A and B are shown apart, each in its own frame.
Chain A
Amino acid sequence: MKDLKGQYVEYKDSVLKVKHTGHIVGTSEDGQWYLVQSDKPNVVKADWHFKVRVSEVDQYLRALPS
């Protein structure tokens, strides 16, 4: 598994039509997921907000917007 800590992730939910963005902060214990903390300003406090399957993460990685 690649160390992607700090990498920026972007994903749009096609059901809610909400864009989710944030930074990878770690991995799940089973090694199946990258854990992401949202960068939305009013989001609830949590260790992670959404997670991305390790095998599929490449399609959700983005350059950090300037």
Chain B
Amino acid sequence: MGRGGGGGGRGVRGLPINSEAGLNRFLKANPNDPLAQQLTDFDNNLVMLDFDTGLYTVDVQGVRDAAKQFVRESQDISYSKKYLISLVQEDALASRGQVLSATDAARFYNTQYQTKSRAILAAARAGNVNLSSAQYTRLQSASRGGYLSTVYTTNSSLNGSLANASLGTRKGGGGTFASASARNEARRNFLEIVGRLR
């Protein structure tokens, strides 16, 4: 069950993998490619290694679960961009001793998302695993890169500010919970609106 028809059979532009044989050829020829590393990362449960033959087979349930989780995370959780970028920078410094600018950190995150989504799509295609249209659409979108620019479209989501959010019983924009940056942003927004009305 789980193979045949649906999203798994649809073409995935730019991915070099169309079957389990193709998957194995790709992994053998490109073991250090980031896509290969995502595919064979056992935390992802996308493929299983047959130790007798040395060949990988697609983990159908694992691919289904990964696609489901990928979509669920992007729908259930949203980060303020500043927080996300600072985490990526912190992680790069701690794990690789790399100092990343905000632009490089955003690029890194986009690439991580892109590679992960491409790995799920490639495994689904190789194993002819059926994905839902919603999963396929979301994965395809992420696989094109530029994930962050499609997610962050408001000042609030960029900064983690309360420009369009409320805290508990706080009413209006000047409560004690509002940070200086949130108050400044609210003031800028107000002046911008007033300017447009004049």
Contact = CB atoms under 8 A, between A and B. Distances in A.
**Chain B binds chain A:** yes
Interface of A: 3, 5, 11, 13-18, 20, 25-30, 33, 35, 38, 40, 42-53, 56, 60
B165 A5 contact: no
A49 B161 CA distance: 9
A47 B166 contact: no
Given A26-B170, A27-B167, A46-B179, 9 more contacts: A3-B168, A14-B66, A25-B167, A26-B167, A38-B83, A44-B160, A46-B161, A51-B78, A53-B77
B86 interface: yes
Given A15-B113, A15-B116, A44-B83, A52 B76 contact: yes
25 contacts: A14-B66, A14-B70, A14-B116, A15-B109, A15-B113, A15-B116, A16-B87, A16-B91, A16-B112, A26-B177, A27-B165, A27-B166, A43-B87, A45-B181, A47-B160, A47-B161, A47-B162, A47-B165, A47-B167, A48-B160, A49-B83, A49-B160, A51-B78, A51-B79, A56-B72
Contacts of B79: 20, 49-51
A50 B164 contact: no
B75 A50 contact: no
A47 B178 contact: yes
Nearest to A42: B90
A61 to B, nearest CB: 13
Contact of B159 (A25, A46, A60): A46
A39 to B, nearest CB: 12
Contacts, number: 104
Contacts of A29: 164-166
Given A14-B70, A16-B91, A18-B87, A49 B80 contact: yes
B55 interface: no
B50 interface: no
A25 B134 CA distance: 31
Contact of A50 (B83, B168, B170): B83
A8 B96 CA distance: 30
A50 B84 CA distance: 9
B85 to A, nearest CB: 8
Interface string B110-146: 0011001000000000000000000000000000000
Contacts of A46: 80, 82-83, 159-161, 179, 181
B52 interface: no
